[in-house]
A and B are shown apart, each in its own frame.
Chain A
Amino acid sequence: GEDVEQSLFLSVREGDSSVINCTYTDSSSTYLYWYKQEPGAGLQLLTYIFSNMDMKQDQRLTVLLNKKDKHLSLRIADTQTGDSAIYFCAEKRGFQKLVFGTGTRLLVSP
């Protein structure tokens, strides 16, 4: 994950919106992904965006992509305590290799 950067920690209150940010380096990446990881578990695919899109909305999730700045964000509306987890952004390079960021730990307090 040395080429994909994320802030380490985010704390929000239940009901607020959460915004998790990510910067990547490979401008040729075709797809960018957001995965969720709960303690002791594998990775759950949340959503993804194709590189020719600026925005994608999927229920409470909104993904914004700024290709010029190589910046990706995930907004979670009406954040719930069940959203507490580590969130990874990842870019697809070449065949099907995923390069992950270091993850952002989201803590949602009641």
Chain B
Amino acid sequence: ETGVTQSPTHLIKTRGQQVTLRCSSQSGHNTVSWYQQALGQGPQFIFQYYREEENGRGNFPPRFSGLQFPNYSSELNVNALELDDSALYLCASSLWGGTLNTEAFFGQGTRLTVV
């Protein structure tokens, strides 16, 4: 158990719809990153949030957006869903800043299926 929880665990959406995925970070962590893992592939970095601001972004279109809240939990929003958005979405939390930095610990993921 990493202490990182994601909801929901599974989700089915229709092409064109919007989806919100949620992540609660591990206690004491201030940074949340989101990754997309397509079937048979390694995880791909979507973006990272640090202190409620986007702190880096991978090669994903603007219809992928996010939020981080004061309690460091986070949301990933995807608009205008496409079939290729079907994947396992992983959230990772870590502590970053100063001399104390931790590794990224992952949640169990949300399996999104777009039909």
Interface residues in chain A, defined as those with a beta carbon under 8 Å from any beta carbon in chain B? 1, 4, 31, 33, 35, 40-45, 48, 88, 90, 94-103
A41 touches B41 (CB 8 A): no
In which size bucket is the chain B interface? Answer: 20 to 34
A88 touches B105 (CB 8 A): no
Contact of B104 among A1, A4, A98 (CB under 8 A): A98
Please measure, in the bound complex, the distance between the C-alpha atom of A30 and the C-alpha atom of B75, giving whole angstroms.
28
Contacts of B107 in A (CB 8 A): 42
The 10 closest A-B pairs by CB, nearest first: A100-B42, A1-B42, A43-B106, A42-B108, A42-B106, A42-B109, A102-B42, A100-B43, A97-B45, A95-B56
Given the contacts A1-B42, A4-B42, A102-B41, A96 and B106 also touching, CB distance less than 8 Å: no
A95 touches B48 (CB 8 A): yes
Contacts of B84 in A (CB 8 A): none
B40 to chain A, nearest CB (A): 8
Contact of A97 among B41, B48, B105, B109 (CB under 8 A): B48
Given the contacts A42-B109, A94-B56, A95-B56, A103 and B42 also touching, CB distance less than 8 Å: yes
Contacts of A100 in B (CB 8 A): 35, 42-44
